[in-house]
Structure 1
Amino acid sequence: MTDLAVAFEAFHFIRPLVLILLPLIAVIWWAVRKGAVRDTPVVAGLAPHLREALTLGVDQRRRLLPIDGVAAVLGLAILGAAGPSWTRVPDPFVAQTAPLVIVLKVAETMEGTDLAPSRLERAKQKIRDLLELRAGARTALVAYSGTAHSVVPMTDDPSVMQPYLQGLTPDVMPEDGDDAVAALAIAQALQAKEPSPGGILFVTDGLDTTQISALTVDDETSLAALAMLPDGTADAGLDAAPFLVVPATPDDADIRKLDRSLNAAYQRALTQDGDQPWEDRGWWLAVPALMLALPWFRRGWTMRWAIVLVLGCGLWQPGTARADGVADWFFTPDQQGQIAYQRKTYDRAADLFADPMRIGWALYRDGQYAEAAKTFARIDSADAAFVQGMAHIKAREYRDGIAAFELTLQRDPDFPGASENLETAKTILSYVEEAREQSDTGEEQGIGADDVVMDNTDARGADTELEGGDASEALLSTDQWMNTVDTQTGDFLRQRFAIEAATQ
């Protein structure tokens, strides 16, 4: 299923009752146009060809009249007011991109240099570009040749995948070959752990024709392949594949096409989610309506009553008008903020939004957790209190987070996730305070903390000052620590794959 098919399936009007005005506009248009069109007068004793040449307005029925433009503009205005929609407002706490498992073929055939610098290196470049395009969406990596192995499980941090991707070469694989079926089984197992449907992408230079019939997935999982072959080179397995196969291109057109296709099933699932409101797309019709209104400036096309009606409708629109720029002529502040939000410029989106809830979302996604918590605190709803608690936890303000989750349950005792998050926040706070008490008494905890958190409003334990030498003498930087590790990623993968192959 493509994005277009998903949009057609979800298309509807948010305010369908407004469409009742369309027949009224059609009746008015017909009455005005009929009165404006005159019948050809009959003049006795005048030849037909002379009568046609000397009579004005004979072709009036066929040409456009001012009422035609007015009716078209009003029709577009009514359609826009009805609220056409086919997507939901993005949930800032849910990834808008499907989880994806990338299955990379790491065999001797991928060492071919007909794609510079080689098929395998070009495939790695394409995978990096895809990771950048997906902007931190959950992605896993599987490698296969004669055997198949999970390289990196699902992660939303693309930097984790980079060293493993670099270490994949044919010599780290236990056997050379083309066992795509085993790779698909591992990819499906990784996808099964995800709560939402996703996709599987084969990055390969060919498929075994005897395995094509086994390369199938369920309806909720998208399957596609990126063919790492030069122009004019074909592969019988890829040609017979029952799923989308996209040839590698010099630019990013191939990965963009694959991303749209693999994301279609996920977008359909998000559309069917009833929690988020529908996104009003009626403003899209403003541009064609304005273009059709341009002839009103011509002499003979002016219809003052229509202009008054359109201006009246414009003045009736709710909200506070702003004159900050040309964009304010066409888009509301929330629409401008939504555009910035979709472009992932969350700080600008927070400045543009007028809706406090959306402002808080944008601040949260931008990492401004303290400001987001203050924004949500001014909204009297269970949703706002819940996200306020999440923001406090992200800012390591655990007591404030506990209070926010308790407020959520006061407003809505059945709010999903509030009880679980409340218990988790209490557990974290208790762990931090116990660790502080044990550090004061000299006891060893056994599990270190990643960050030092100062949250001791109960005055449990005592502040302790430790004396020691220069910390820079004992602690190594990340680069220094990495330089002390002799084992390369490829060596690690070779040993791991060999053990897995021996135990299979």
Structure 2
Amino acid sequence: MELFRYPLLLAGLAGAFAALVFFRFRAEASRLAAARAVLGPAFERLAAGPEAARRRLRGLLYFIALALLAFAAAGPQWGAELAPVTDLKGNIVIAVDASLSMAARDLKPDRLSNARLLLGAISEKFADYRIGVVAFAGQAYVQCPLTTDQDAITYFASALRPGMMPEQGTDFSEAVETVLTMLSRYGGQKVMVLITDGEDHSSGLDTALKAAVEQNLKIYTIGIGNPDGDLVPMTDSAGNTMEYKKDKQGKTVVSRLDEPTLMKIASRTGAAYQRYTDPDSAAEAVRSAVAALDLEKSKGKGRSAYKNRYQWPLAAALLLLLIELLIMEKGFSFNKPSFRLPKFFKGAAALLLALAAAAQAAGPSKDARRGNAAYEGKDWQSAVEHYSRAAARNPADKRLTFNVGDAYYRLEDYEKAAESFEQASAGPKVAARAHYNRGNALFRKGDLAGAIAAYRQTLDLEPGDSNAKFNLQKALEQKQKNSCDKNKDNKENKDNKKDQDKKDQGDKDKEKKEDGGGEAKQDEKGKEKEKQKEQEKKKTEAQARSRQILEMMKEKEKAAARDPENMRQAARQAGKPEPQNRLEDW
């Protein structure tokens, strides 16, 4: 058993303490010798007085407190506790094709943007696995080493761009060999997820697959793209299309999804192939397939760890320092109470002010934590109340205002949500996300112009935000569609009005030409009126049915909105903007 967690620190502090005691007593001995020489016989009388005794007691308490502080800093530990240990013997490396063909736009906005979304979804599904990222084209490079840090994976995934590799082309053998090298140091099941459009230009694929089979590497392939293919745009630094890629003969290149090659890779290694449709379903399919491999997870009985007991010597040291502060060299005197007492009260007042400031600073954090708990429990109204109180206490922290807007959004109060996100956009750290969520709220509210402006502000701050680009495109399409529908309705109203005017004029002409009115004409006119009434009745019934269907759809959307996961899935299916849950933690 190791009595101290930091024995080297204890040795250093012990040496420093010994030196301090040595020089302190040496200085005290010199002072006493000088006083004895000056005072002579009176020195013994003064040295035996109560004031000298109190002074020696204060010094002793001070040194004992210093020794206890050094003792606490060294981490005294005794008493063992069991800590559960979970060991996952499985590793996953995601290889992403970063060649120029991944810029094709048969999947909106382009293939590589969808690959980045898929990579993020897979990392969320495999949060309890070690995950690495490899980017490849003509050569393969480790983009992110094996890690369980989700933030690191997201950061490196956001850096993936079409044509970022120094050598272009698509070489699957390079990707497989790089993944094998990464996983060679680890035991257990090895899994590789290959995200690509399937166009392979390598000659050593069979050799690489043979090595993968020998090392028990399962390669799950996900095809991104369309078998019909699409043109490959060549863009400038701003993302504007300059031209389309051409081959050596000057013909425009059409990049097509090569599913047979991907099926071959998966079948050779005992894995499976899947065509990409959306990030969540593809990630879930990979998770299910990997779970079927029965990766070995071993939860041990635990390992013993000694408890750090630094609190006890630290508390004793603070108590001794407080006692040392209370002991007066000259004792308490009612005639002269101002010698020592005011200093103590000044120190106590400063301590109380510090504690009050700490309590006041802890206020917003406490409300924010309560808001987080209510938000996780889907109690949106309580989350709004706690976040609002925290924001009122600390208005400079715009993360709190951002969370107020997020909770209002879940309550479907899009107007207040948009106001809160607009206030939160004043904070530089959350400005881009606040503008993005404000655009989503305005889109839900029906303010397409405001939503478009908010998405553009997001892109001004973060030009590479693929979600903002997608939502901006949807908002512009919806605005154009609404404009076309409005023009069509205006045209139909004008045509109906002209037809009615012609009909009324015809009826007037008939009245002028008809004399006393025959019974046959009156019957014919009555039949026309009955026919018109019947048509109006059918039209009214059709409108009522349409309203009922619309109300049912709205109720369904509201029910889905109460569950964030259902809300995101419904938004993807309907092609609407997907809200981002970017809650800040405290």
Q: Give the shorter-chain TM-score range.
A: 0.3 to 0.5
Structure showing the higher helix proportion among its residues: 2
TM (norm. structure 2) is 0.32
Query: What is the TM-score with the length of structure 1 in the denominator?
Result: 0.37
Higher normalized contact order (CA 8 Å, seq sep 6+, divided by chain length): 1
Larger Rg, first or second structure (1 or 2) = 2
